[in-house]
């Protein structure tokens, strides 16, 4: 037993296991192969459709059938990944050239998902069938066993075009990711042909053909000067803008219409863009927006933003570029599997890899075709020779006892046991010497082949076979001839499938938005006991002041350019700009303060809300649960950060009260056990916000400060205590840091 135990370092086992796992994900799942530009799931799905006979000129088949067959034979990783792959390969807004022809709901550019696989149907597109899968029967690529070694699958598809560039790719592996933008098919083919004609061309030279990415969604690439560096290194950032047009609207308004979007906005990004535009108005960053609507249809994108008459359209457009995804960045990392290794490739290296692959598959294709033609030539020559001595052949066949005897005579000239009409026939038969394949063809030949026209056709077919052999040998022996064959195929593909470029390549200046100075005015801030806050018009506030003070927890008048300070029981100060709150009507709900600040509703509660400008004029008195008190100058809370510590707390302590001091003379502390202590406010020292403070009241065991009250000079204030009324003004004024008096009433 001891001999079977392998002792090894645990870290080495973990390292090896992780590397094996990482390489499995990189090679077999997430990254495309540079040769066909496909990930394994894409390759397997297309090959399975080819095997099932789901061709472009045949009826559609259920997606569920395709997914199930692919999963059962080649890709045992779950049906969702296969169906998602199938869906993406049908979407013309994600792929420059869709590889699958879908029938049914396969989702849309606005992010709506595809229907379930049981409802949709698909078949291969014509381009995919003719240029991705057509030559699989010619031994152009290697076939490997599938996961359970019951089927064979191609290691790579014999793709005739640089699909890696044309359709782009996205994938996240372990420790690396690929992100390649799509390109225009005609431009990529032109660059590939140019490279084949002169492989010394640099990336800069190739960019005379490939101007830059060509996104299916159009848009404008605005950093043209940075593209050479991106294509030279294979890494960089492409800045894309949507295309906007200005139209006349109703009532003299101006309509800003988005007709093309950045590629990165596909899906939920369109809804997010509209929400971001609406938020610009809500946050009062702009007041120019009247309405926004999405009028997109099958004809294309059309997002209409209705603007006021006097709007500076150029300035507003720049605002959209700065504050929304109408201008976005596409991160480029042209990473692919090249010679079995993940490599980040330049444009020239991609052209080199694709050209090398074309020469490889073309060589194997014509080697296969040549072998077939040579086999045909051998048989044709045997049949022609047999027709020339057909009487002798018939005599051999009639005189033989069985097929092996006749074949032995035709191949080896053995005449023993065969009955001939004459010695001359036997002598001639001994000299025939056909090959095995020729002999089999002669023995299988039908009598109608002896008709004169059939013999003429056989001779013409032989002449064509000889011509084909000469042609194929020339292609295989001459690099130039093979290059011309590939170039002619590429030219034909370009002629049939080329499309007009959609994305404009240009240099544009960085968008500059001149923010209009906000007109300063008074607004009223109100917040209810549930933490919903808003600002309202001051006149509305004055008319409903009594109702507001009764129904809302905090309310005060402030400037719309100011900040609101929220002091919490945890000792934090959260600041919110008044402009971040909606200016609403009296009965509107408002927004939760945790939506516009770092406030944590699960841990914090608001003790005081005040405008920052008011705090600068006064001092604040802090009181905690453990009876620690201090006065802090309000100017200390004029901070730029959204959240700061307003006071220092001991363990298990929290803030009970924060009071802005105006003319208050005495403070009354009430403990949970019913003790009251009244003493002058001046007894509390002024300290910095980072200090803990001093003790205000001596507390008994497990007792704590429950409430804090403030009284003006000679003020009478009553509270409910033990279901009875207590006049705080009748309490005796004593000193701080005493136990106080237990009031039973």
159, 169, 139, 141: which is closest to 46 by C-alpha?
159
Supply the DSSP symbol for 116.
Answer: P
SS3 203: helix
Say how far apart CA 559 and CA 520 lie, in whole Å: 7
Q: Where are the beta strands (DSSP E) in 637-736?
A: 643-645, 655-661, 666-671, 675-680, 694-695, 705-711, 718-721, 724-727
Distance CA 89, CA 127 (A): 12
Contact in structure between 108 and 82 (CB atoms under 8 Å): no
Q: Which entry of 119, 231, 448, 497 is annotated as an active-site residue? A: 119
Q: Are 152 and 142 in contact (CB under 8 A)?
A: no
* Closest to 393 (Cα-Cα) out of 330, 442, 356: 442
Cα gap 731→413, rounded to integer Å: 139
* The dihedral sign for the CA sequence 688, 694, 697, 698: positive
Contact yes or no for 696/738 (Cβ under 8 A) = no
Is residue 645 within 8 A of residue 716, CB to CB? The reply is: no
Nearest-Å Rg of the Cα atoms of the chain is: 42
Whether residue 705 contacts residue 670, with contact meaning beta carbons closer than 8 Å, is answered with: yes
d(CA 73, CA 195): 38
Distance CA 80, CA 102 (A): 17
DSSP assigned state of 511: P
Q: What gap in Å lies between CA 647 and CA 689, rounded to an integer?
A: 5
What Cα–Cα distance (Å) separates residue 468 from each residue in 374, 382, 437, 490?
9, 18, 20, 21
Contact 326, 320 (CB under 8 A): yes
Q: In this structure, what DSSP letter does residue 28 have?
A: I
Cβ 140 vs Cβ 111: under 8 Å? no
**Residue in 154, 153, 192, 136 with CA at minimum distance from that of residue 364:** 136
Cβ(146)–Cβ(47) below 8 Å: no
Three-state secondary-structure class, residue 124: strand
DSSP 648: -
Cβ neighbourhood burial of 313 (10 Å; 0-12, 13-18, 19+): middle
Q: What are phi and psi of 53, to 5 degrees?
A: 75, 25
119 is an active site residue: yes
Q: Report the alpha-carbon distance of residue 534 to residue 527 in Å, rounded.
A: 7
Residues 360/366, Cβ–Cβ less than 8 Å: no
With beta carbons less than 8 A apart as the criterion, state whether 706 and 675 touch. Answer: no
Cα–Cα distance between 196 and 358 in angstroms, integer? Answer: 10
Helix and strand counts by DSSP (H, E) for the chain: 21, 35
Q: How far apart are CA 145 and CA 46, in angstroms?
A: 17
Q: Bin 168: left if φ > 0, else alpha if -120 < ψ < 50, else beta.
A: left
* Listed residue (713, 155, 193) closest to 495, CA to CA: 193
Nearest of 744, 745, 738 to residue 678 by alpha carbon: 738
Residue burial 13-27, b: 16+ Cβ < 10 Å; e: rest: eeeeeeeeeeeebbb
Helices (H), 581-620: 612-615
What is the per-residue DSSP string for 42-57?
Answer: HHHHHHHHHHTT--TT
Q: Which residues are identified as catalytic?
A: 119
């Amino acid at each position: 037993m001891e001999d079977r135990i392998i002792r090894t370092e645990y870290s080495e086992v973990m390292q090896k296991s992780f590397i094996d796992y990482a390489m499995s994900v990189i090679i077999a799942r997430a990254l495309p192969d540079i040769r066909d530009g496909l990930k394994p799931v894409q390759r397997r799905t297309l090959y399975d459709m080819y095997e099932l006979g789901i061709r472009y000129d045949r009826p559609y088949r259920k997606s569920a059938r395709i997914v199930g067959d692919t999963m059962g034979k080649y890709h045992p990783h779950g049906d969702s990944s296969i169906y998602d792959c199938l869906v993406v390969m049908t979407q013309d807004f994600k792929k420059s050239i869709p590889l699958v022809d879908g029938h049914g709901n396969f989702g849309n550019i606005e992010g709506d998902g595809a229907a379930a696989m049981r409802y949709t149907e698909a078949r291969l597109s014509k381009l995919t069938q003719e240029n991705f899968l057509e030559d699989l029967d010619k031994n152009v690529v290697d076939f490997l066993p599938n996961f359970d070694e019951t089927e064979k699958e191609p290691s790579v598809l014999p793709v005739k075009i640089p699909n890696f560039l044309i359709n782009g790719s996205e994938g996240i592996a372990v420790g690396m990711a690929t992100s390649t933008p799509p390109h225009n098919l005609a431009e990529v083919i032109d660059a590939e042909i140019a490279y084949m004609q002169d492989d010394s061309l640099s990336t800069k030279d190739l960019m005379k053909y490939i101007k830059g990415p060509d996104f299916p969604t159009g848009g404008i690439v605005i950093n043209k000067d940075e593209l050479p560096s991106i294509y030279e290194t294979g890494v960089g950032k492409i800045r894309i803008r949507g295309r906007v047009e200005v139209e006349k609207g109703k009532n003299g308004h101006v309509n800003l219409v988005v007709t093309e979007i950045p590629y990165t906005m596909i899906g939920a990004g369109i809804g997010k863009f509209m929400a971001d535009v609406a938020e610009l108005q809500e946050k009062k960053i702009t007041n120019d927006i009247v309405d926004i609507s999405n009028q997109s249809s099958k004809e294309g994108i059309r997002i209409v933003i209705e603007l006021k008459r006097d709007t500076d359209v150029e300035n507003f457009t720049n605002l959209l570029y700065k504050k929304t995804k109408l201008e976005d960045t596409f991160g480029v990392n042209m990473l692919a599997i090249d010679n079995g290794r993940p490599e980040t490739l330049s444009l020239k290296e991609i052209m080199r890899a694709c050209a090398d692959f074309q020469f490889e598959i073309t060589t194997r294709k014509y080697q296969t075709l040549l072998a077939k033609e040579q086999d045909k030539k051998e048989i044709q020559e045997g049949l022609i020779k047999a027709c020339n001595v057909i009487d002798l052949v018939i005599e051999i066949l009639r005189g033989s006892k069985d097929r092996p005897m006749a074949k032995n005579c035709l191949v080896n000239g053995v005449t023993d046991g065969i009955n001939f009409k004459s010695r001359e026939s036997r002598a001639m038969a001994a000299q025939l010497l056909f090959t095995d394949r020729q002999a089999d063809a002669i023995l299988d030949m039908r009598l109608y082949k002896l008709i004169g026209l059939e013999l003429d056709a056989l001779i013409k077919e032989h002449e064509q076979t000889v011509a084909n052999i000469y042609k194929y040998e020339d292609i295989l022996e001459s690099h130039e001839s093979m290059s011309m064959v590939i170039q002619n195929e590429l030219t034909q593909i370009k002629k049939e499938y080329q499309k007009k470029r959609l994305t404009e390549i240009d240099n544009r200046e960085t968008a500059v938005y001149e923010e209009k100075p906000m007109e300063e005015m008074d607004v009223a801030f109100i917040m209810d006991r549930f933490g919903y806050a808003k600002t309202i018009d001051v006149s509305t506030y004055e008319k409903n002041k009594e109702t507001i003070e009764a129904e809302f927890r905090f309310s005060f008048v402030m400037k719309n350019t100011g900040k609101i300070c929220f002091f919490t029981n945890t000792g934090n100060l959260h600041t919110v700009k008044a402009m971040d709150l909606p200016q609403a009507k009296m009965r509107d709900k408002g927004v939760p303060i945790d939506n516009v600040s770092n406030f944590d509703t699960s841990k914090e509660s608001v003790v005081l809300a005040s405008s920052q400008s008011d705090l600068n004029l006064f001092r604040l008195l802090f009181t905690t649960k453990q009876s620690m008190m201090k006065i802090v100058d309000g100017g200390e809370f004029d901070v730029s950060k959204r959240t700061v510590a307003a006071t220092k707390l001991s363990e298990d302590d929290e803030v009970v009260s924060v009071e802005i001091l105006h003319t208050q003379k005495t403070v009354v502390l009430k403990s949970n056990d019913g003790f009251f202590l009244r003493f002058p406010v001046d007894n509390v020292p002024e300290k910095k916000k980072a200090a803990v403070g001093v003790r205000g009241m001596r507390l008994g065991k497990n007792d704590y400060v429950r409430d804090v009250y403030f009284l003006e000079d000679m003020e009478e204030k009553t509270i409910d205590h033990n279901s009875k009324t207590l006049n705080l003004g009748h309490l005796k004024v004593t000193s701080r840091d005493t136990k106080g008096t237990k009031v039973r009433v």
